[in-house]
Amino acid sequence: MVGEAEVTIPLRRGGHCYGLCAERGTKLAVVACHPWGPLGGSMWDVVVEEVIELFGQNAGLTTLRFNFRSGIGSGAASADDIRGACAYLMQVARPPERILLIGYSYGSLVVAGVAEDIREVVAFACISPPLYYSWALFMCNQRALLQRARQARAAKLLLIGARDNFCSVPQFREFADSLAHPKRVVVLDGAVDHFGVYRFVQEQLSVWACAIFGVRRVSQLASSSGELAIRAGADGEGALGEPGVPGGAPPVGPPDASARDDAGSAEPLIR
């Protein structure tokens, strides 16, 4: 996409990843992570493209996407790849101060497991986490990864289609409920499956990002500090989309669907 340049990302334990970076000198940067490589996942995945278009071309933020070195193993190598990508951003000419991690499918679970380890990460999004097959994707190391995700204090978006091919809604709910606030949990009802969620990614990310960063439009993110605008309620739950938070809005998605938030309520969707 416009503004992206090929980069080589050095890794702390040796080796490197290849990626595309658009350095725009913003205080907030976005790192996008792709699905499982052995099944064709790469930084060219359509969901990753949607993320980069939204936050790069539309919002004007610094963005980075890259290819994981592999997807076979416990997930430790992929976690190191994300750490390396974030470290790379902090070494560019005009480094960001804060990072937003966004992962789809396999990438979503690695993002959730590594977010707490990276000081600059203030928020992350898990799009269509393949929980049903996590034992196979991470060679039975999924429990350690999910436990690490539960420790993450960053703001979170958990998004899935009601007919996801690799995770049931109850399984997704159990995972989402185990994560700390602040968080926004959205199930896209209707006929949205694992591969069709890309149609709603930009809408859902826009609503969430505006709420947590306190802006009314994603185009305002480039001039923002990247500091979170959400606050913790008296019950310890993060306040997302409340009247006191600029950008608060109803969820968006399929016209014949409803999105249920983490409290279990249902709200009508808008296109």
Question: Which residues fall within 8 angstroms of residue 252, CB to CB, at 6 or more apart?
Answer: 200, 203, 204, 207, 259, 269, 270, 271
pLDDT digits (tens, 9 = 90+) for 81-106: 999 999 999 999 999 999 999 999 99
The region of weakest confidence among 15-24, 117-126, 233-242 is 233-242
**pLDDT class of 73 with cuts at 50, 70, 90:** low
8 Å CB contact between 137 and 108: no
CA-to-CA distance for 141 and 187, rounded, in angstroms?
26
The region of weakest confidence among 1-10, 44-53, 56-65, 232-241 is 232-241
Q: What domains sit in the chain, N to C, each tagged with a CATH number?
A: 5-268 (3.40.50.1820)
pLDDT at position 81, please?
93
pLDDT for residue 40 is more than 80:
no
**pLDDT class of 77 with cuts at 50, 70, 90:** confident
pLDDT at position 48, please?
98
Q: What is the pTM of this model?
A: 0.84
pLDDT for residue 178 is more than 70:
yes
pLDDT at position 230, please?
78
**pLDDT class of 33 with cuts at 50, 70, 90:** very high
Question: Which residues fall within 8 angstroms of residue 36, CB to CB, at 6 or more apart?
Answer: 71, 105, 106, 130, 137
pLDDT at position 41, please?
85
pLDDT at position 12, please?
85
Pairing of strands 98-104, 62-66: unpaired
Q: What is the mean pLDDT of residues 143-157?
A: 88
